[in-house]
Amino acid sequence: MHLSQSNSFVEDEEILYRSVRLADGGYKLENGVYQISSSAFNDRNMQPSVDRAQLKNNNPEQSRKSKTDCVVSLKTLEIRNETIERNEINYILDVKPDPTDENPAHAIVVPSPEYKNEKAFRKVKERLARIATVTLTPIK
Amino acid sequence: MTQLAHANYSPYNTEFNQQVTFGLSSSHSSNNDENIYKIYINSKISELESCLTKLNHIKNYQNNWDGYNAKQPGQLAINNTQNLLKRIFSLSYDASMNWSSPYISADSEGNIVLEWWGINNKKITLYVGAKENYIEYLKSSNDKINEMEDGEIQNFNLNCYVELFSWLNR
């Protein structure tokens, strides 16, 4: 198996997909520009799910959950380059494989150490929304 | 759908009407200007109505509405957001600033999330929960997480409004 398809590590160069729902307030379209909301990266466990593009045949369509969703792309290295300092704690972000039977491409964005509260995670969501690139627009 | 009485809507009693009335009598003396102003006011009120309608829609979210185990948005959070939006709407007139609708969503903890995008990549996000007259905010102006500013506001007033929204559009 090529290293980039390993189930134990996500390479820095890997592209990640996330399906962003319109109905849940994940994005808005204004003057032809998609604005990604920080809510697009909501996760109760504060570990947003993503799909590893290489394990989706680099086809974002395979990550789309509904026709009105758009799919955004993120670069693993950009996420790993982030550190968040809050209340004298430095959080480092990582992307870890989390394959499931239904979705072998599944990975999660995790902090180290775990967030003490939601405030640091809110900043991460904001940051993820800013670096996310719309790769697939909704089907009209 | 939430219905508001256009043109004589008063989210905070006389303040709104005074603002409109003073505006019409002092700086908008001609009928033409008056009509343009009324159209402007009504369009802004329509935007506010749309926000309140969206909140009514969010009210129907159930637990796990996002497929990631999110909590159902709380009724108190929705009520507090309705009150906050009406207040911000009114304050925008008090401050002679332009009202703009936020993008409305919810987070995993049942809070309502309001987002405004401004100029130069600036953005304000407000989190409204079950606690009355209390919000949390996040200001971001670039891609650097550690330069984002967060905080809490009790009793959102004119000063808070001017400080946040002047920054957003500066």
% of chain B exceeding 90 in pLDDT = 62
Give residue-wise pLDDT tens across range A35-77. Answer: 899 999 999 999 999 999 999 999 999 999 989 889 999 999 9
Q: Report the pLDDT averaged over residues A92-102.
A: 96
CB–CB contact B146 A49 (8 Å): no
Residue B14 has pLDDT above 70, yes or no: no
Compute the nearest-CA separation of B156 from chain A (Å).
Answer: 20
Which residues of chain B lie closer than 8 angstroms to A33, CB-CB?
none
Mean pLDDT, chain A, as a whole number? 90
Substitution target in B58, B107, B126, B135 with the highest count of A β-carbons within 10 Å is B107
Q: Which residues contact B56 (CB under 8 A, 6 or more apart)?
A: B1, B2
| Alpha-carbon gap, residue A60 to B49, rounded angstroms | 36
- The verdict on B143 touching A (C-beta cutoff 8 Å) is yes
CB–CB contact B105 A25 (8 Å): yes
Give residue-wise pLDDT tens across range A121-130. Answer: 999 999 999 9
- DSSP assignments along B76-131, one per residue: HHHHHHHHHHHHHHHHHHHTT----PPEEEE-TTS-EEEEEE-STT-EEEEEE-SS
Shortest CB distance from A84 goes to which of B109, B143, B145? B145
Which residues of chain B lie closer than 8 angstroms to A92, CB-CB?
none
Q: Which residues contact A130 (CB under 8 A, 6 or more apart)?
A: A36, B121, B140, B143
What is the band of B32 on the pLDDT scale with cuts at 50, 70, 90?
Answer: confident
The residues pairing with B52 across neighbouring beta strands, listed in sequence order, are none
Asked if B113 contacts B85 with a C-beta cutoff of 8 angstroms, the reply is no
- φ/ψ of B87, rounded to 5, equals -65, -45
Residue B5 has pLDDT above 90, yes or no: no
Amino acid at B149: E
- The verdict on B69 touching A (C-beta cutoff 8 Å) is yes
The pTM of this model reads 0.85
Residue B4 has pLDDT above 70, yes or no: no
Q: What is the pLDDT of residue B66?
A: 80
Q: What is the pLDDT of residue B28?
A: 47
What is the band of A5 on the pLDDT scale with cuts at 50, 70, 90?
Answer: low
Asked if B104 contacts B120 with a C-beta cutoff of 8 angstroms, the reply is no
Asked if A138 contacts B148 with a C-beta cutoff of 8 angstroms, the reply is no
SS3 B23: helix
Shortest CB distance from A28 goes to which of B103, B107, B138? B103
Give residue-wise pLDDT tens across range A15-31. Answer: 999 998 876 677 778 77
| Alpha-carbon gap, residue B162 to A1, rounded angstroms | 58
The ipTM of this complex is 0.88
Shortest CB distance from B106 goes to which of A39, A118, A126? A39
CB–CB contact B115 A122 (8 Å): no
Residue B24 DSSP class: I
| Alpha-carbon gap, residue B69 to A130, rounded angstroms | 24
